[in-house]
Amino acid sequence: MGVGKIAAQAGHASVGIIQDMQASKDPNSKLLLKQYNQNACPKIALKISSYEEMMTLQQKAELMKINNHVVFDAGKTQIPAGSATILSLLGEETEVNKVTGHLKLL
């Protein structure tokens, strides 16, 4: 993906996870969103090497009950429609680091 496409996908991921958490009936999601907003909405972009790695990370997040959102591309530009392009996680830093702590910054 080009730099602009990566930026667009990151935007989709940020909005997507917030929408998912706002719609959630889990009270912990509401508390995490409140903390996220009070702490300047931090974001960190990390590099992965493959779709398989992204799905492994997503499965680990699911098992750990960490809020996550996978973006599937619409296919209007560089990526085929339906392709998973980015994973976003939102949770307690120590928990998220158990999933992503080994990854390097993008």
pLDDT band at 84 (very low <50, low <70, confident <90, very high): very high
User: In this structure, what token pair is assigned to residue 65?
Assistant: 């009950």
Q: b/e per residue, 37-54, with b = 16+ CB within 10 A? A: eeeeeeeeeeebeeeeeb
Quick one: 68 exposed, middle or buried, by C-beta within 10 A (0-12, 13-18, 19+)? buried
pLDDT band at 80 (very low <50, low <70, confident <90, very high): very high
Spell out the alpha helix ranges (H) of 24-50. 27-38
pLDDT, tens digit, for every residue of 38-79?
A: 999 999 999 999 999 999 999 999 999 999 999 999 989 889
Residue 21 has a pLDDT of 96
pLDDT, tens digit, for every residue of 16-44?
A: 999 999 999 999 999 999 999 999 999 99
